[in-house]
Structure 1
């Protein structure tokens, strides 16, 4: 009986984990990434029209709040992907005048993105043996590639 209970528990954990993983958002899938990108574009357009877009928001929080509201209203975007779209707004320079996206590549080749208060705060101190460049896009979701800044 004890083994039966353990077996049932193991299966419950296994199936619960599979279901949880399926509820996520696989951005490596081109169709899913296209859905998230379309939702982000629609949210940006709606926020621009409301005066709280990337360049018109009076604060970063105002921009992120607008995008989050728009993304949450987007019923065509799977719930598991809404967080990914909102994260792109949160990791942006929108509503932060003078800020830039900064792509820092370590000596081992790992690139990470962050927002910095100026171009010089990004490029003046690259990682030891690595490099740093100012991104051409306001969101870290678009600014960097695996090897540095996106065109």
Structure 2
């Protein structure tokens, strides 16, 4: 295990990166994230040094799909739940899900809060997988239940979604 002060905000941003051509890496020297576009002269150097630069990959679509499914299953409104369940079946599931959310502003807000929480949980899990012990708290640690370690994200249930800022 290595201790590291992490740039949590940059790490969160890297996990949300929607440009597959841009590669992101966490430096285990200073905890900073490097975002390197194609052709960047540092890209080859960073890729060749996995001991000092850990690649940050986008969250796989299968995991994001599971988040959709879990979110939908937790919906209390059966009409909305059934509509969303139908939308996420087959090719184009993410697009259809987003289209429905555009018609449901409250559920859209809840979805983005839920997704952000799941993203935070995944980031903390990823940090642990890299055998890193953070020396600083994640900026979202104030949202965690009392008694939780400062860098560990907590699972939130549907009732607590509306309380997040």
State the TM-score, normalizing by the size of structure 2: 0.26
Larger radius of gyration: 1
Higher RCO (CA-CA < 8 Å; seq separation 6+): 2
